[in-house]
Amino acid sequence: MKLKLSILLIVLLTVRVFAQEEIFPIPRRAYVNMGISFQMWQREKAGLPVDQLALPISILIPLGRNLDLSISHTPAFSKQYKNQTIYGLSDTWVQGDYVFWNDKAMLNLGVGLPTGKTRLDSSQFELSKQLSKNIYQFQLPIYGQGFSGMIGLAMAFPVVDGVVIGIGGEYLYRGSYYPVKYNYGEKLGINRTFYKKYTPGDEASGNVGVDIRIRENMKIMLDGIYTYYWNDILDGEIVYRSGNKFTGNLGFFYRFNHKYVWTHLIFRQKGKNELLQGLYFGKEEKNSNGYQIEMSIISKVIDYPNGEVFLLGEGRFYGKNQIGTGAVIAVGGGVGANYRFDHNTILDLQFKYFFGQFRPPWKRSIEGLQTSAGLKFEL
C-alpha cells in the first residue's frame, strides 16, 4: 500500500483548530478495524468480470497524547478467468504519527514490510494489469512491492480567524523486488524464464493547502501536491521514469439540521514519461498521460438511534492523452449506513453501483459495483 501526504494530513491538523468530527476524526482511543469488501468491474455485458474480495484490517494504538502507532494490511482474492487468479497477503504498513508544536505540526514515519505476493506467473501478471487500472480503484491494486519506507512532515499556520494554511512534504523510498517469474518461448522450442529484479523509483512530494471556515457550519479546503519521481531500474538498467505529477484537491463541507454534505474534487495531471526505446532512454514524443478528474459526495440524510444513513455519489472522468487514447468515464452512487451496537463497537456498510464507457480507440461500456462491511472495535 502506498501512502501519500495529501490534503488528509493537513486537514487532520486543521481539524484540531476547527473541529469537524464527521469528516476526519482524530483518534483518541485504540481500535481494531476489520472489514470485507467485494468489487466487480466488467467490460461489455458479455465480457468476463474482474472480481476482488478483500479483507482489510487496521489497528491503531495510541502511545501517548501526541503519538499514535498504526498497522494496516489487506489480504485479497482476485480473479478473472478460471486459471487467472491471485490470492494472498498484501504488504504490511506500520506507521507512527507524532503531533507537536501545540498540535500544529505532524511527523509521520512508516515502513512497508514486504509481506505481499510477488513473483507472479504470466496469467497473474495479466490480471494485475487490470487490478491496477486507476479507473477501477480496487481495494488492493498491487499485492506486493518489496520493502518501502516513508517520512513526512506537515505544519499548519492559523492566519486569521477561520483561515489556516498548511504545508508539508514526504519522501517515499521503494526497495527492489521480483515482480514476476514465468516461463516463455515454449512454442518456439525455447524454454526461458523471465525473473529479473525490479527497483521502482523513489518519490518526493510537496504540499500546500488552505482551510477556510466560511461560517460555523461551512468550510472549504484547497490543496495542491507536486510529486517528483526517480528512475525505475530493471535488472540493473534504467527502463522508465514516470512523468512528474500535479494533484489538486478541493473539499467543501456544509452542515444543516444535524445533517451534512461533504464533497471532494480531485484533479491529476502527469508530465511526459521517460522510457527505454531500443538503445535510447528519453521522454516520449507525446504525453501518454491524460488528465484525471474525480468527484465524490457524501450526504448524511437520516439520523436514527445509534446510527446514520448516507447517500453516496462518485464520478471519475479521465481525458484522452496526446496519443488520442485513454479516455474513460465512470459514474456511480449508492448508500451507506453505520450503527453503534454499544460504546465500543461500530458497524459500517456501503454499496455503490457504477456505469461508464471507455472511449478512443473504441467505445466500450463498463459497469461495476462495490460493497463493503466493516466492524470497528474501540478499546
pLDDT digits (tens, 9 = 90+) for 278-298: 778 899 999 999 999 999 999
Q: What are phi and psi of 125, to 5 degrees?
A: -65, -40
Q: Extract the C-alpha cell encoding 139.
A: 481495494
- Answer for the pair 285, 320: CB distance below 8 angstroms, yes or no: no
pLDDT in tens, 116-131: 999 999 999 999 999 9
How high is the mean pLDDT of the chain? 89
- Answer for the pair 53, 37: CB distance below 8 angstroms, yes or no: yes
- Answer for the pair 190, 201: CB distance below 8 angstroms, yes or no: no
pLDDT in tens, 33-80: 999 999 999 988 767 899 999 999 999 999 988 899 999 999 999 999
Q: What are phi and psi of 326, to 5 degrees?
A: 95, -5
Letter for the amino acid at 274?
Answer: E
pLDDT value for 24: 36
Number of domains in the chain: 1
- Answer for the pair 356, 365: CB distance below 8 angstroms, yes or no: yes
Question: For residue 366, is it within any domain?
Answer: yes
What is the SS3 assignment for 147?
A: coil
pLDDT value for 157: 86
Question: How confident is the model over 353-368, as a mean pLDDT?
Answer: 86
Question: For residue 2, is it within any domain?
Answer: no
pLDDT in tens, 197-247: 999 999 999 999 999 999 989 999 999 999 999 999 999 999 999 999 999
Q: For residue 158, what pLDDT band results from cuts at 50, 70 and 90?
A: confident
Closest listed residue to residue 152, CA positions, set 293, 13, 319, 315: 13
pLDDT in tens, 78-132: 999 777 999 999 999 999 999 888 888 899 999 999 999 999 999 999 999 999 9
Exposure string (b/e) for 274-295, b if CB count within 10 Å is 16 or more?
bbeeeeeeeebeebbbbbbbbb
Question: How confident is the model over 349-370, as a mean pLDDT?
Answer: 89
Question: For residue 85, is it within any domain?
Answer: yes
pLDDT value for 28: 64
pLDDT value for 346: 96
Question: For residue 358, is it within any domain?
Answer: yes
pLDDT in tens, 322-345: 999 999 999 999 999 999 999 899
What is the SS3 assignment for 148?
A: strand
Q: What percent of the chain has pLDDT over 70?
A: 91
Q: Extract the C-alpha cell encoding 353.
A: 453501483
Over 70: is that where the pLDDT of 251 sits? yes
pLDDT value for 119: 95
- Answer for the pair 13, 103: CB distance below 8 angstroms, yes or no: yes
pLDDT value for 7: 42
pLDDT value for 361: 64
Q: What are phi and psi of 10, to 5 degrees?
A: -70, -40
How much is the pTM? 0.90
**Measured distance CA(338)–CA(181) in Å, rounded:** 43
Q: For residue 320, what pLDDT band results from cuts at 50, 70 and 90?
A: very high
Sign of the C-alpha dihedral, residues 1, 194, 52, 269? positive
Closest listed residue to residue 61, CA positions, set 35, 90, 32, 34: 32
pLDDT value for 15: 43
Question: For residue 271, is it within any domain?
Answer: yes
Most confident of 7-11, 22-26, 241-245, 300-304: 241-245
Here the CATH number for the domain that contains residue 42 is 2.40.160
- Interacting residues of 244 by C-beta distance below 8 A, sequence separation 6+: 226, 227, 228, 229, 270, 271
pLDDT value for 19: 40
- Answer for the pair 320, 326: CB distance below 8 angstroms, yes or no: yes
Q: What is the 3-state secondary structure (H, E, C) of 6-73?
A: CHHHHHHHHCCCCCCCCCCCCCCCCEEEEEEEEEEEEECCCCCCEEEEECCEEEEEECCCCEEEEEEE
Sign of the C-alpha dihedral, residues 42, 43, 47, 50? negative
- Which domain, by its residues, includes 333? 7-378
Question: How confident is the model over 306-313, as a mean pLDDT?
Answer: 96
Over 70: is that where the pLDDT of 20 sits? no
Question: For residue 1, is it within any domain?
Answer: no
pLDDT value for 145: 93
Question: What secondary structure letter does DSSP report for 177?
Answer: B
Over 70: is that where the pLDDT of 27 sits? no
User: What stretch of H or E contains 83?
Assistant: none
Question: For residue 116, is it within any domain?
Answer: yes
